[in-house]
Amino acid sequence: MLSPISGQIDEISLNGTWQIRNFDYGMGTWKPAWGIFMAFPPPETDSLLRNASTIQVPGSVQQALVDQGVAPDPYIGDNIKEMLWVEEQEWWLVKSIDIPIEWAGMKIALQCNMLNYQADVWVNQNWSGRTIGNYSPMDLEVLDHLNYGASNDIVIRLRAPENSTNAIKNNLFIDWRILNKEVLHERPWVTPSNPQAGEYLISKCFFGWDWGPHLVPIGILQPIKLQASQQIELASVFVKTMSIDSGQANLSIDFNLTNEGTAAVETNLHYEIISQQSGKSVVTDKMNLSLNPHAAYQQSLDVIVNDPELWWPNNYGDQNLYTIKVRLVRNGKTVAQAEDQFGIRTLEKVRNEDSSWLDGVFFRHDPDEELIDGQYNWTFRINGVNIFIQGMNSIPMDAMLDLSPEIYQYTLRCAANAHVNMLRVWGEGLYETNDFYNICDQLGILVWQDFWVGSYSPAQPQESSWDAVIANIKRTRNHPSLVLYCGGNE
């Protein structure tokens, strides 16, 4: 499971330039023998590098091809049709990296928050695992496959879903303008275009929607790294504001740790809360812990912050933020460390005192009998103040999934300047990135995060679906901008 916190003791970024080469499906691991072709994994790095080009990671294959002039700009005319062949190939990415000899004996994981679609990994020609879908993070143990104090080859094969370019034919629909069931029309777009879209662990909009084209981005789409850790590890930290009263904020902090070793471990947990506005430490403390072998451990603490600087939505106040830093110390040496951003604010969902604003409002659904008045007569209350929501819908911000911080900064700042104070992250799109949430924290934009179960099919792997839900909740839950998880699209 990827941690929502950063800054572990030892990590090597694998971002930057990778070598890349494409093959027809199944041909990347085939080689000639006795005059015929035979299936023969693992891949040979020398063969993959022959006539290879380059790609910048994070980034999609489609974006790399456009940047290199191999493919036309899909945003011009109907050039998008010239990109479909990319989904019918398998793409092999290769990178060599030196591993320090000091890492020997440590737990080593290859981690990335988003790849698409199917990623098979080899380290030094040893198959190391597979990740499927752009919702599930990659977290693969690779310590047994590494050469310490030497160069190592990491190979990742990426491919689109099987039958990715299949399209629904004769998509007839009733013209809503005349509501005549005898008159059918064929619409120029389909949502989504692929008849199997609901079966894949993927953003459905990649297969086309009424606002966007069919383009399934293939690539390592978020930062990727090798992370080394000791037998004890900080899995996550969760900071909750329980109440704010009389100049004090009452926080609850959950520290989640694991001991994957064979022996019990004594360690000291040090933590510090720092105001990002002043740079001053407002809380610092430590505790002694005894962790049993092969066990997960949670320590919960109640913490008081005096004179707290509160986080407010856009146009209601300042977006004050804090940093929590955590270290595990054994025998005077820091063996794990992490930090995360959070805000101090209370959050409630309350009923409106006057429901007359609903008079004359047309709802597209039948009234919910479990609600008192049959409708959604409620509002968000932040720090005791009812918030008048001025919201927009948020879809993936680039068809080729250029998820760079610059794109998020520009787009989200435009929304904030238009006095938007909430974005609903559309459920057929993404579990949004860390950059998206960090910038929403800074701008005071509340986030309603849909889960991705719209267009759901029972054929989806259920365990992988739930793993993705759990991983993304743990990754995002500290952000003060996050106010609601919604069970599905719309």
| pLDDT score recorded for residue 198 | 67
Least confident of 61-70, 451-460, 465-474, 476-485: 451-460
Tell me the average pLDDT across 110-139. Answer: 91
Q: With 0-12 CB in 10 A as exposed, 13-18 as middle and 19+ as buried, what is 28?
A: buried
Written as six digits, the tokens of 142 are 């690779």
Cis omega (within 30 of 0) for bond into 297 = no
CB atoms within 10 A of CB 464: 15
Written as six digits, the tokens of 332 are 């005077």
DSSP-assigned letter for residue 35: T
- Tens digits of residue pLDDT in 261-310: 888 888 999 999 999 999 999 999 999 999 888 889 899 999 999 999 99
Handedness of CA 312, 315, 319, 320 (dihedral sign): negative
Instruction: Judge whether residue 93 has pLDDT over 70.
Output: yes
Domain assignments of the chain as residue spans, ordered by start: 248-342, 347-486
Angstrom distances, CA of residue 171 to CA of 190, 192, 406, 475, 476: 7, 11, 38, 39, 38
Residue 90: name the closest of 126, 120, 46 by CA: 120
Answer yes or no: same fold for 248-342 and 347-486: no
Cα separation, 225 vs 164, in Å, equals 28
Across the chain, mean pLDDT equals 85
Q: In what order do the strands lie in the sheet with 295-306?
A: 232-245, 248-259, 295-306
- Tens digits of residue pLDDT in 190-213: 555 665 666 778 888 888 888 888
Q: Is domain 347-486 annotated with CATH 3.40.50.300?
A: no
Calculate the dihedral angle through the C-alpha atoms of 374, 375, 381, 385, rounding to the nearest 10 degrees: -100
What is the band of 485 on the pLDDT scale with cuts at 50, 70, 90? very high
DSSP assignment of 203-255: -GGGEEETTEEE----EE-S-EEEEEE-SEEEEEEEEEEEEEETTEEEEEEEE
Q: Which residues of 240-255 are buried (b: 16+ CB within 10 A; e: fewer)?
A: ebeebeeeebbbebeb
- Tens digits of residue pLDDT in 207-237: 888 888 889 999 999 999 999 988 888 889 9
- Give 234's strand partners: 257
What are φ and ψ of residue 137, in 5° steps? -70, 155
CB 85 within 8 Å of CB 243:
no
Determine if residue 80 is left, alpha or beta; phi over 0 gives left, psi from -120 to 50 gives alpha, anything else beta.
Answer: alpha
Tell me the average pLDDT across 362-366. Answer: 62
Class of domain 248-342: mainly beta
| pLDDT score recorded for residue 147 | 95
